Amino acid sequence: MLKKEDIQYLRDKVLEKTGIDLAYYKEKQLQRRLPFIMSRAGAQNVEEYVELLDKDPQVLEDFKNRFAINVSEFFRNPERYEDLKNKILPELMKGTGLVLKIWSAGCSVGSEPYSLAMILEEMPHHKPYRIWATDIDEDALDKAKEGVYSEDFICSVPPLYLEKYFQPLGEGKYAVVPRLKRRIVFEKHDLLQDEVKETFALVVCRNVVIYFEDEAKRMAFEKMSNALQEGGYLWIGSTERIADPSSLGLRYVLPFFYQKGR
Ligand SMILES: C[S@@+](CC[C@H](N)C(=O)[O-])C[C@H]1O[C@@H](n2cnc3c(N)ncnc32)[C@H](O)[C@@H]1O
């Protein structure tokens, strides 16, 4: 168990080296991840770890990879994808604007934006669409851009989609087809610290803010609400809720979906 002063001491160094501000993350998340990360690096205490962070680029890399937990899967909570397909997207398709713009915030290794793209491709007469997929973790983003997954990882992809949107590469590996990849721009972006310059019809941010302190959570939701077009939707994770949506200009419409304005 780390002392508060230890975390504070680490915070400055980590912020300087990685741009990640530990102050935004829940103490429970810090207590769970930091001792594990430090012991993997072979450090006995925070001072030793900070020294290693300074002189060993591999330790720094390891921190970035292990701090943000990238657990993700294709079509996570499939019943929510059904709501998206049957209730949310048909309405968004009718909206004005030539291109449907979607932001997948905290996209991890890409399973979320690729799942969204498959759902959109399957909609009859769908509008052109574009997905901005962001994360703070560059390794996760590299994996997402590559779009190559193991058989185990894609087991939740329906067989019909697997056939249409993945190319078998042999040895149990599958690559996402270029047609889906072209719709998605992957970019490094910190939900808590970086600007958002566009607005979107749909913002998807699932299982990301669970690690944030209440204030950071609110800040993130506010940023997402500001990034939504009037009438647009915010889709959050199935263990999350927004405490006071109306104060953010949002209205609860369906489990885990909120609408801007109206
Ligand atoms: C558990 S994964 C969720 C992936 C996907 N959204 C899903 O539901 O399957 C959480 C992701 O949030 C990212 N993340 C954590 N803090 C972030 C921040 N401040 N800005 C952007 N992404 C962040 C992590 O790097 C990680 O890839």
The CATH number of the domain where 232 resides is what? 3.40.50.150
Let me know whether 56 and 113 are in one domain.
Answer: no
**Which atom of ligand 1 approaches the CA of 137 most closely?**
25
Q: How far is CA 212 from CA 27, 76, 101, 239, in A?
A: 9, 21, 26, 13
Let me know whether 20 and 150 are in one domain.
Answer: no
What is the pLDDT, as a whole number, of residue 167? 98
Let me know whether 218 and 91 are in one domain.
Answer: yes
**Cα–Cα dist 262/244, whole Å:** 16
What is the pLDDT, as a whole number, of residue 63? 85
Pair 126, 94: CB distance under 8 Å: no
The answer to whether position 72 is within a domain reads no
Let me know whether 99 and 61 are in one domain.
Answer: no
Let me know whether 63 and 93 are in one domain.
Answer: no
What is the pLDDT, as a whole number, of residue 222? 97
Q: What is the extent of the structural domain holding 205?
A: 78-260
The answer to whether position 96 is within a domain reads yes
Let me know whether 50 and 92 are in one domain.
Answer: no
Let me know whether 167 and 86 are in one domain.
Answer: yes
The answer to whether position 73 is within a domain reads no
**Which atom of ligand 1 approaches the CA of 76 most closely?**
9
Domain boundary among 26, 42, 67: 67
Cβ of 190 closer than 6 Å to ligand 1, yes or no, is: yes
What is the pLDDT, as a whole number, of residue 68? 72
Per-residue pLDDT of the chain (262 residues), as tens digits, is 889 899 999 999 888 888 888 888 888 889 988 998 999 899 999 999 999 999 998 888 788 767 877 788 999 999 999 999 999 999 999 988 899 999 999 999 999 999 999 999 999 988 999 999 999 988 899 999 999 999 989 999 999 999 999 999 999 999 999 999 999 999 999 999 999 999 999 999 999 998 899 999 999 999 999 999 999 999 999 889 999 999 999 999 999 999 999 6
Let me know whether 22 and 93 are in one domain.
Answer: no
Pair 168, 174: CB distance under 8 Å: yes
What is the pLDDT, as a whole number, of residue 109? 96
Let me know whether 116 and 138 are in one domain.
Answer: yes
The answer to whether position 231 is within a domain reads yes
The answer to whether position 20 is within a domain reads yes
Let me know whether 39 and 89 are in one domain.
Answer: no
Cβ of 76 closer than 6 Å to ligand 1, yes or no, is: yes
Cβ of 20 closer than 6 Å to ligand 1, yes or no, is: no
Tally of domains within the chain:
2
Cβ of 67 closer than 6 Å to ligand 1, yes or no, is: no
**Of all protein residues, whose CA lies closest to atom 10 belonging to ligand 1?**
208
Let me know whether 129 and 33 are in one domain.
Answer: no
Answer positive or negative: Cα dihedral of 92, 95, 100, 101. negative
Cβ of 140 closer than 6 Å to ligand 1, yes or no, is: yes
What is the pLDDT, as a whole number, of residue 125? 83
Cβ of 80 closer than 6 Å to ligand 1, yes or no, is: no
Domain boundary among 19, 37, 67: 67
What is the pLDDT, as a whole number, of residue 72? 87
Pocket test for ligand 1, best of 81, 115, 135 (most atoms within 8 A of CB): 135
What is the pLDDT, as a whole number, of residue 29? 85
What is the pLDDT, as a whole number, of residue 38? 94
Cβ of 71 closer than 6 Å to ligand 1, yes or no, is: yes
Pocket test for ligand 1, best of 136, 153, 224 (most atoms within 8 A of CB): 136
Cβ of 18 closer than 6 Å to ligand 1, yes or no, is: no
The answer to whether position 238 is within a domain reads yes
Let me know whether 26 and 95 are in one domain.
Answer: no
Domain boundary among 67, 97, 112: 67
